[in-house]
Amino acid sequence: MTSQVGPPGDLTAQARLRQAAVAIIAESGATALTARSVARGAGVSAGLVAHHFGSMEGLLEACDAQVSGELSKLKQAQMNPSAALNPLAGLRDEQMYLMRYLVNRLTDDSPTVHKLVRTMIDDAEVYLQVAVEQGMVRQSSQPRRRAAMLILRALGELLLHRLVKEELGVDLVLDGLADERAVADYIALSYELYQGILTEEFSAQVSDAMPLISEQEDER
């Protein structure tokens, strides 16, 4: 059974179809996506898939746009050094379907997937510039290429999530990820690797926050 995902209150037939499709891809991959399976998950007629999206390819592009948009909003919400630093922000159970969606979509080497990744790079370039303006990240002489490198490396890690679990003890596609004890160490290592792009001020803020996160993990 597929679950509803996406913005609350987004209940039009078109939105229900898109949400059902995202849930199917996150659970079983794009090969499981059919007009009937999507319509069944959305509780509408199968004919509405073609009516609203034109084709399954059109539906996939709409799903990619939804997922990339939600990921961009999560990242932009973290670009605020004046707020209490919370590296675990965004790692909520109800959002983990985004990670599973990407894992299943990225195994398909197709033009639509390339478009999805390029959209994520475009978004990363924007929110990294916001981070520069907020004093969190250093300016780059090659902002687009830096955004591309960060996204491609992050997606590579996601695709290799089974090895990440074996080597680092963190399951990147598991509900309850934020509750895993190994997450604090994983985040600390991630910041350590990327200290070269962080400003000294924000790097110090991150360092100060890490012991607090570890203490919270120990109390669980």
pLDDT band for 82, please (50, 70, 90 cuts). Answer: low
**198: number of Cβ within 10 Å:** 17
Q: What is the pTM of this model?
A: 0.82
Which residues have a Cβ under 8 Å from the Cβ of 25 and sit 6 or more positions away?
32, 33, 63, 101, 104, 105
* Least reliable range by pLDDT among 58-72, 89-103, 121-135: 89-103
Q: What is the mean pLDDT of residues 26-44?
A: 94
- Are the CB atoms for 113 and 61 separated by under 8 Å? no
Q: Return the pLDDT at 3.
A: 44
Task: Round the average pLDDT of the chain to a whole number and report it.
Answer: 84
Question: What's the sign of the alpha-carbon dihedral 64, 66, 71, 73?
Answer: positive
**186: number of Cβ within 10 Å:** 16
Per the structure block, which two tokens stand in for 139? 């300016």
Distance separating alpha carbons of residues 194 and 203, to the nearest angstrom: 10
Residue 84 has pLDDT above 70, yes or no: no
Q: Which fold has domain 55-219?
A: Tetracycline Repressor; domain 2 (1.10.357)
More confident residue, 125 or 183: 125
Q: Return the pLDDT at 2.
A: 41
Distance separating alpha carbons of residues 33 and 188, to the nearest angstrom: 38
Q: Return the pLDDT at 7.
A: 44
State the angle between helix axes of 161-168 and 183-193 in degrees (0 to 180), rounded to the nearest 10: 110
Measured CA angle at 217 (ends 213, 220), to 5 deg: 140
Residue 143 has pLDDT above 90, yes or no: yes
Q: What is the mean pLDDT of residues 41-65?
A: 95
